[in-house]
Amino acid sequence: MKPYRVLLYYFYTPLENPEQFRDEHHLLCLQLNLLGRIIVAPEGLNGTVSGLAADCEAYMRIVASDPRFAGIDFKVEEHDTHAFQKLHVRLKEEIVNSDLPVDPRRETGKHLEPAEFRQMLDDEDVVLVDMRSNYEHAVGRFKGAVTFDMENLRELPEHIHEIEHLKNKKVITYCTGGIKCEKASAYLLQQGFKDVYQLHGGIIKYGQEEGGQDFEGKCYVFDNRIAVDVNKVNPKVISTCFRCGTETARMINCASPSCNNHVAMCEECGWEHQGTCADACKADPHLRAYDGTGYYSKKTEGYTPLQGYISRKSLALK
């Protein structure tokens, strides 16, 4: 068993004083030596964190014991080390950027547990719709799923016309951990889709509980792993190297910080081209040193996990 855990979670619940909660939650993560990205908003909590197994167990126990988060679902994966270099607990207007005029606490698609989802895959009347960004589904997606060429969920209204003809089908939305589908499925219902479902817990939970059958490629994740294996039943590589076109499941961020393009790239091209997606990117004066992973953490001089909390409190007192 590996010593570290990576937790992926979200929960929609009203927070009356999100700024106070953000500060308290940041301190909790510091006490438990957790690193990662957490978003706090008036509508709830969304995060991905990593830490030692015991610290993650304590975190899950504390969060779940708060009546506001009763029923929260943690997706837990084992890892050799921390999956993040820093800790950020940010206050935003939404826990997932969407600008969609919906409230998933009032209306959303029917939740399908992974086993129910797998059983529905053979239904000819079912259509899978991927609610993730283009670079995410480029490296992995469910077989036969509808995908959109969108950068983020805010663009979903611009693509609804592409699936208008499916309004009378059983539409199942899916994403990495389930959070985008809460709002996306609600929006589809608003737009007149009759029978809308969502994969509860997303791709990650489906892989853990049902072996990831029919998910082709890898699942893009927002930590230093970049992409992870999901399918243990009938895996297949669907992505090709952005540079040479050979089949590869490796995903990198371009080493040029002004580009930071998310692309598939084979190991040979990664080293040959210094982790860049185009020759022009090599000329970037701020080119980051490629270490074979293609993951780059933002540099902050003298950073410590406590620094973000102290800096924010200092600014608030000015």
**Does 226 reside within a domain?**
no
| Residue whose structure tokens are 């951990």 | 177
**Does 258 reside within a domain?**
yes
State the pLDDT at residue 4: 98
Q: What is the number of domains present in the chain?
A: 3
**Does 282 reside within a domain?**
yes
**Does 103 reside within a domain?**
no
Tens of pLDDT, residue by residue over 178-197, are 999 999 999 999 999 999 99
CATH of the domain at 85: 3.30.70.100
Q: 83 and 123: one domain?
A: no
Does 215 score more than 60 pLDDT?
yes
**Does 247 reside within a domain?**
yes
Q: 115 and 209: one domain?
A: yes
Mean pLDDT of 57-71: 98
Q: 206 and 115: one domain?
A: yes
Q: Examine the fold and report which residue of 184, 217, 250 is the final residue of a domain before the chain moves on.
A: 217
Q: 246 and 290: one domain?
A: yes
Q: 117 and 62: one domain?
A: no
CATH of the domain at 165: 3.40.250.10
Q: Examine the fold and report which residue of 33, 61, 95 is the final residue of a domain before the chain moves on.
A: 95
- Structure tokens of 305? 């996990």
**Does 84 reside within a domain?**
yes
State the pTM of this model.
0.92
Q: 259 and 182: one domain?
A: no
In 3D, which of 2, 56, 11, 3 has the Cα closest to residue 32? 56
Does 63 score more than 70 pLDDT?
yes
* Summary mean pLDDT of the chain: 94
Residues 6+ apart with CB under 8 A from 294: 226, 250, 251, 252, 253, 255, 265, 270, 275
Q: 271 and 206: one domain?
A: no
Q: 210 and 128: one domain?
A: yes
Tens of pLDDT, residue by residue over 216-252, are 999 999 999 999 999 999 999 999 999 999 999 999 9
State the pLDDT at residue 96: 96
Q: 60 and 138: one domain?
A: no
Q: Examine the fold and report which residue of 72, 95, 118 is the final residue of a domain before the chain moves on.
A: 95
**Does 43 reside within a domain?**
yes
Is 241 one of the annotated active-site residues of the chain?
no
Q: 19 and 82: one domain?
A: yes
Provide the domain limits for residue 248.
Answer: 240-297
Predicted confidence band of residue 76 (pLDDT cuts 50, 70, 90): very high
State the pLDDT at residue 312: 64
Q: 125 and 209: one domain?
A: yes
Tell me which of 175, 254, 266, 269 is the catalytic residue: 175
Q: 22 and 77: one domain?
A: yes
**Does 316 reside within a domain?**
no
